[in-house]
A and B are shown apart, each in its own frame.
Chain A
Amino acid sequence: MSKLYNENLKAEIFGAIKNLIEDKSKDVTDDTKLIGDENLLDSMKLVELCLFLEDKAEDLGFEFDWTSEAAMSKSRSMFKTAGSLVNEFIDQMKRK
Chain B
Amino acid sequence: MIIVTGASKGLGRAISDRLISKKIQVFGLARNVNNIPFPSMTCDVSSYENVKKVSRVLKKKGVIVEGLINAAGIASMNLAVTTPPSVSQNIVNINLLGTIYCCQLIAPLMLRNKTGTIINFSTIAVALGLKGESIYAASKAGVEGFTRSFAREMTDFNINVNCIAPGPIDTDLLKGISVAQIKKIVSQQIIPKQFTPDSISDLVELLLDKRSNSLSGQILHVGGV
Interface residues of A (CB under 8 A from B): 43-44, 47, 51, 54, 63, 67
Q: Which residues of A contact B108 (CB under 8 A)?
A: 51, 54
Q: Which residues of A contact B56 (CB under 8 A)?
A: 63
B107-126, CB < 8 A from A: 108, 111-112
Inter-subunit contact B104/A44 (CB<8 Å): no
Q: Is the interface of B mostly helix, strand, loop or mixed?
A: helix
Assess whether B153 is interfacial by the CB under 8 Å rule. yes
Inter-subunit contact A47/B104 (CB<8 Å): no
CA distance in complex: A63, B108 (Å): 14
Q: Which residues of B contact A67 (CB under 8 A)?
A: 104
Report the minimal beta-carbon distance from B110 to chain A, rounded to whole angstroms: 11
Interface residues of B (CB under 8 A from A): 56, 104, 108, 111-112, 153, 156-157
Using A44-B156, A47-B157, A54-B108 as known contacts, list a sample of 10 further A-B pairs with CB atoms less than 8 Å apart, ordered by residue number in A. Answer: A43-B153, A43-B156, A44-B157, A47-B111, A47-B156, A51-B108, A51-B111, A51-B112, A63-B56, A67-B104
CA distance in complex: A43, B155 (Å): 11
Q: Which residues of B contact A51 (CB under 8 A)?
A: 108, 111-112
Q: Is the interface of A mostly helix, strand, loop or mixed?
A: helix
Q: Which residues of B contact A47 (CB under 8 A)?
A: 111, 156-157
CA distance in complex: A47, B155 (Å): 12
Closest to A67 in B: B104
CA distance in complex: A17, B32 (Å): 43
